[in-house]
Amino acid sequence: MSVSPFHLNRPVHLARRDVFYEQAEQLIEQLPTRKKLPDQQEVAEKALRLFYTARQHAQAANRSEKTSAEDQFFLDFLNTAVDNTQSITRMLRRQRSVESEDCPLGRFLGSEDVGSKMSAHYRRCAAHILKGLLQVLEQAAQPYQELQQTGLTKMSPTDQLRYEKARTHLTQLPDA
Protein backbone atom coordinates (compact mmCIF):
# COMPACT_ATOMS: atom_id res chain seq x y z
CA MET A 1 0.00 0.00 0.00
CA SER A 2 1.22 3.45 -0.88
CA VAL A 3 2.23 5.80 1.92
CA SER A 4 1.52 8.87 -0.17
CA PRO A 5 -0.88 11.18 1.70
CA PHE A 6 -2.53 11.92 -1.64
CA HIS A 7 -3.31 8.25 -2.11
CA LEU A 8 -4.46 7.80 1.48
CA ASN A 9 -6.84 10.75 1.29
CA ARG A 10 -8.05 10.09 -2.25
CA PRO A 11 -11.38 8.41 -1.28
CA VAL A 12 -12.35 11.34 0.93
CA HIS A 13 -11.34 13.91 -1.70
CA LEU A 14 -13.35 12.00 -4.31
CA ALA A 15 -16.39 11.92 -2.05
CA ARG A 16 -16.09 15.64 -1.42
CA ARG A 17 -15.59 16.29 -5.15
CA ASP A 18 -18.69 14.31 -5.99
CA VAL A 19 -20.98 15.78 -3.33
CA PHE A 20 -20.01 19.37 -4.02
CA TYR A 21 -20.23 18.87 -7.79
CA GLU A 22 -23.70 17.33 -7.49
CA GLN A 23 -24.92 20.13 -5.22
CA ALA A 24 -23.60 22.77 -7.62
CA GLU A 25 -25.22 21.00 -10.55
CA GLN A 26 -28.58 20.98 -8.73
CA LEU A 27 -28.33 24.70 -8.06
CA ILE A 28 -27.49 25.47 -11.68
CA GLU A 29 -30.49 23.41 -12.78
CA GLN A 30 -32.70 25.48 -10.44
CA LEU A 31 -31.38 28.78 -11.71
CA PRO A 32 -33.87 29.24 -14.59
CA THR A 33 -36.77 28.93 -12.12
CA ARG A 34 -35.56 31.88 -10.05
CA LYS A 35 -37.40 34.98 -11.21
CA LYS A 36 -35.94 37.65 -8.94
CA LEU A 37 -32.48 38.91 -9.82
CA PRO A 38 -31.13 38.85 -6.23
CA ASP A 39 -32.26 35.21 -5.91
CA GLN A 40 -30.60 34.31 -9.21
CA GLN A 41 -27.37 35.95 -8.12
CA GLU A 42 -27.41 34.22 -4.73
CA VAL A 43 -28.00 30.79 -6.28
CA ALA A 44 -25.33 31.32 -8.95
CA GLU A 45 -22.76 32.47 -6.39
CA LYS A 46 -23.47 29.48 -4.16
CA ALA A 47 -23.12 27.13 -7.15
CA LEU A 48 -19.83 28.82 -8.02
CA ARG A 49 -18.47 28.25 -4.51
CA LEU A 50 -19.50 24.60 -4.70
CA PHE A 51 -17.89 24.12 -8.13
CA TYR A 52 -14.70 25.75 -6.77
CA THR A 53 -14.69 23.36 -3.82
CA ALA A 54 -15.37 20.34 -6.05
CA ARG A 55 -12.46 21.42 -8.25
CA GLN A 56 -10.12 21.78 -5.26
CA HIS A 57 -10.92 18.26 -4.12
CA ALA A 58 -10.57 16.89 -7.64
CA GLN A 59 -7.12 18.48 -7.80
CA ALA A 60 -6.16 16.94 -4.46
CA ALA A 61 -7.49 13.50 -5.46
CA ASN A 62 -5.64 13.72 -8.76
CA ARG A 63 -2.30 14.05 -7.00
CA SER A 64 -2.50 10.33 -6.20
CA GLU A 65 -0.75 7.81 -8.40
CA LYS A 66 -4.18 6.17 -8.81
CA THR A 67 -5.38 9.07 -10.97
CA SER A 68 -6.74 8.06 -14.37
CA ALA A 69 -6.97 10.03 -17.59
CA GLU A 70 -10.74 10.28 -16.99
CA ASP A 71 -10.11 11.89 -13.60
CA GLN A 72 -8.00 14.50 -15.33
CA PHE A 73 -10.67 15.03 -18.00
CA PHE A 74 -13.24 15.57 -15.27
CA LEU A 75 -11.00 18.17 -13.67
CA ASP A 76 -10.86 19.98 -17.02
CA PHE A 77 -14.66 19.74 -17.18
CA LEU A 78 -14.89 21.26 -13.69
CA ASN A 79 -12.76 24.15 -14.92
CA THR A 80 -15.35 24.72 -17.64
CA ALA A 81 -18.19 24.62 -15.11
CA VAL A 82 -16.35 27.09 -12.86
CA ASP A 83 -15.60 29.47 -15.74
CA ASN A 84 -19.17 29.43 -17.04
CA THR A 85 -20.71 29.84 -13.59
CA GLN A 86 -18.32 32.68 -12.86
CA SER A 87 -19.39 34.38 -16.09
CA ILE A 88 -23.05 34.01 -15.12
CA THR A 89 -22.44 35.51 -11.68
CA ARG A 90 -20.57 38.43 -13.21
CA MET A 91 -23.36 39.14 -15.70
CA LEU A 92 -25.94 39.01 -12.91
CA ARG A 93 -23.81 41.30 -10.76
CA ARG A 94 -23.46 43.78 -13.63
CA GLN A 95 -27.20 43.61 -14.28
CA ARG A 96 -27.96 44.43 -10.65
CA SER A 97 -25.50 47.30 -10.76
CA VAL A 98 -27.03 48.95 -13.81
CA GLU A 99 -30.54 48.41 -12.46
CA SER A 100 -29.73 50.14 -9.20
CA GLU A 101 -31.29 53.52 -8.53
CA ASP A 102 -27.88 55.14 -8.46
CA CYS A 103 -26.46 53.40 -11.55
CA PRO A 104 -22.73 54.22 -11.45
CA LEU A 105 -22.30 53.43 -15.14
CA GLY A 106 -25.12 55.76 -16.15
CA ARG A 107 -23.76 58.51 -13.94
CA PHE A 108 -20.26 58.14 -15.39
CA LEU A 109 -21.52 58.11 -18.98
CA GLY A 110 -24.04 60.86 -18.32
CA SER A 111 -26.85 58.73 -19.73
CA GLU A 112 -30.15 57.89 -18.10
CA ASP A 113 -31.08 55.05 -20.45
CA VAL A 114 -27.77 53.17 -20.44
CA GLY A 115 -28.90 51.19 -17.39
CA SER A 116 -31.94 49.69 -19.08
CA LYS A 117 -30.04 48.94 -22.29
CA MET A 118 -27.15 47.29 -20.47
CA SER A 119 -29.49 45.44 -18.10
CA ALA A 120 -31.13 43.69 -21.03
CA HIS A 121 -27.71 42.94 -22.51
CA TYR A 122 -26.38 41.43 -19.28
CA ARG A 123 -29.60 39.42 -18.80
CA ARG A 124 -29.30 37.96 -22.33
CA CYS A 125 -25.61 37.14 -21.85
CA ALA A 126 -26.26 35.38 -18.53
CA ALA A 127 -29.16 33.43 -20.05
CA HIS A 128 -27.08 32.40 -23.04
CA ILE A 129 -24.16 31.21 -20.90
CA LEU A 130 -26.56 29.40 -18.58
CA LYS A 131 -28.19 27.61 -21.51
CA GLY A 132 -24.78 26.37 -22.68
CA LEU A 133 -23.78 25.30 -19.19
CA LEU A 134 -27.03 23.38 -18.72
CA GLN A 135 -26.42 21.56 -22.00
CA VAL A 136 -22.87 20.65 -20.98
CA LEU A 137 -24.02 19.45 -17.55
CA GLU A 138 -26.67 17.30 -19.21
CA GLN A 139 -24.10 15.76 -21.54
CA ALA A 140 -21.79 15.15 -18.58
CA ALA A 141 -24.31 13.04 -16.66
CA GLN A 142 -23.37 9.69 -18.18
CA PRO A 143 -19.56 10.17 -18.28
CA TYR A 144 -19.71 11.41 -14.68
CA GLN A 145 -21.65 8.32 -13.55
CA GLU A 146 -19.17 6.09 -15.37
CA LEU A 147 -16.24 7.94 -13.75
CA GLN A 148 -17.78 7.42 -10.32
CA GLN A 149 -18.46 3.73 -10.93
CA THR A 150 -14.98 3.09 -12.32
CA GLY A 151 -13.41 4.92 -9.40
CA LEU A 152 -15.38 2.93 -6.86
CA THR A 153 -14.62 -0.42 -8.45
CA LYS A 154 -10.91 0.34 -8.45
CA MET A 155 -10.94 1.17 -4.72
CA SER A 156 -10.13 -1.35 -2.05
CA PRO A 157 -13.03 -2.29 0.25
CA THR A 158 -11.53 -0.06 2.95
CA ASP A 159 -11.30 2.90 0.57
CA GLN A 160 -14.87 2.27 -0.63
CA LEU A 161 -16.03 2.42 2.97
CA ARG A 162 -14.13 5.67 3.56
CA TYR A 163 -15.65 7.15 0.38
CA GLU A 164 -19.18 6.17 1.45
CA LYS A 165 -18.70 7.45 5.01
CA ALA A 166 -17.41 10.80 3.76
CA ARG A 167 -20.19 11.07 1.19
CA THR A 168 -22.88 10.23 3.74
CA HIS A 169 -21.48 12.73 6.21
CA LEU A 170 -21.36 15.52 3.64
CA THR A 171 -24.87 14.91 2.35
CA GLN A 172 -26.21 15.09 5.89
CA LEU A 173 -24.77 18.54 6.54
CA PRO A 174 -27.48 21.20 6.49
CA ASP A 175 -25.66 23.52 4.07
CA ALA A 176 -22.48 22.01 2.69
User: pLDDT tens, 15-47?
Assistant: 999 999 999 999 999 998 888 999 999 999 999
CA angle in degrees (0–180, nearest 5) for 108-95-138: 150
- Answer yes or no: pTM beyond 0.75: yes
Reading phi first (left if > 0) and then psi (alpha if -120 to 50, else beta), residue 156 is in: beta
Q: How does residue 65 score in pLDDT terms, banded at 50, 70 and 90?
A: confident
Q: What is the largest CA-CA distance in the chain?
A: 68
Q: Are 86 and 48 in contact (CB under 8 A)?
A: yes
d(CA 8, CA 6): 6
Q: How far apart are CA 65 and CA 88, in angstroms?
A: 35
pLDDT tens, 73-109?
999 999 999 999 999 999 999 999 988 877 777 777 7
Q: Identify the domain containing residue 66 by its residue range.
A: 5-172
Number of domains within the chain: 1
